[in-house]
Structure 1
């Protein structure tokens, strides 16, 4: 099966909304409060992603990528941009806001490929350091970030629908290290 990573377009909003609903329920069942996961209604997610993808078109500091099969079936997505506020103080110049791959396709290099796409995109904008936040109990994701050179850089609480969620920061002081993942990404890219 041939796979590819590409910059998302406005027409990807329905597929990314479905991916978010699926991957969040796969990833966060037992980690996030049930009302947060139950609140992932597709119509609302679709509107949110449509707005994000429209914003991306006019905002050079906002990148959204989709991982898909050659016939266009979306399997994962990632978003990134300049870090702001407290995130910039802890994470550095750039932030990977979201990165998710369907559980059925994890372990095939899609996460690495999405991280590679984000790091390259951030570097092209002069953002040379960066990081991301991960839910504290998400040990699988934390192990993945550590395996590609991420270093723990603090923690905080994120507010989601009124709930306070503990998250941990992972950083790369030099995003060129992440851009070097190319040798570890499968040749289907």
Structure 2
């Protein structure tokens, strides 16, 4: 992980690399849950719109970028206090495919926990991960999360035609972010 630096995402210049990584990871991981037409067609444009909005008006949220030699190698986005029981929503954590298993994901998770610790009322954090994404589930469990429930996947952009069948997602929870930041 030498040479990786972490910084807040704030600039409009951050939108394109974040959207591209987000789309690439969805294409690699969500095939079979999201329609091929969506993944191979409008996904990148959809992610550009979403990230343009998030970075233009972040609201009670934080986005951190992992950068290596000027290239995005990962990012994390957390929205503070979205659920009274579970806490802040870890909305996205993505690492460039060939940089996985290098510690970047753990560091991004730590940055999300630090942001929750500093910016949210509660200290709990949770996320939703597709049931078929067992690699991500193993990662989060290894990082101390607990699987606490399964729900239907909401269709991207509210459009049910973007789903294949009735995919489900698993809620992963950290009741307290302290262990993620070493506190």
Same-fold status (TM-score > 0.5): yes
TM-score scaled by length of structure 2: 0.86
**Would the aligned equivalents of 1:150 and 1:171 in 2 still touch at CA under 8 Å?**
yes
Residue in 2 that maps onto 1:154: 149
Residue in 2 that maps onto 1:34: 36
**Cα root mean square deviation, aligned:** 1.8
**Would the aligned equivalents of 1:152 and 1:170 in 2 still touch at CA under 8 Å?**
yes
Per-residue Cα deviation, 1:98-125 (whole angstroms, up to 9, x for no partner): 1111211000001101100000000112
1:123 and 2:117 matched: yes
Distance change (3 Å), C-alpha of 1:93 and 1:44: closer
Which segments of 5 or more consecutive residues in structure 2 lack a partner in the other structure?
none
Per-residue Cα deviation, 1:31-67 (whole angstroms, up to 9, x for no partner): 43323312444344223211110112xx2x1111111
Within 5 Å, give how 1:141-180 maps onto structure 2: 141-160=136-155, 161-162=159-160, 163=163, 164-180=166-182
Which segments of 5 or more consecutive residues in structure 1 lack a partner in the other structure?
182-189
Cα shift at 1:72: 1.4
1:138 and 2:133 matched: yes
**Would the aligned equivalents of 1:64 and 1:78 in 2 still touch at CA under 8 Å?**
yes
Residue in 2 that maps onto 1:5: 6
State the alpha-carbon separation in 2 of the partners of residues 34 and 43 from structure 1: 15
Cα shift at 1:148: 0.8
The number of residues matched between the two structures is 173
**Would the aligned equivalents of 1:66 and 1:76 in 2 still touch at CA under 8 Å?**
yes
**Would the aligned equivalents of 1:21 and 1:40 in 2 still touch at CA under 8 Å?**
no
TM-score scaled by length of structure 1: 0.84
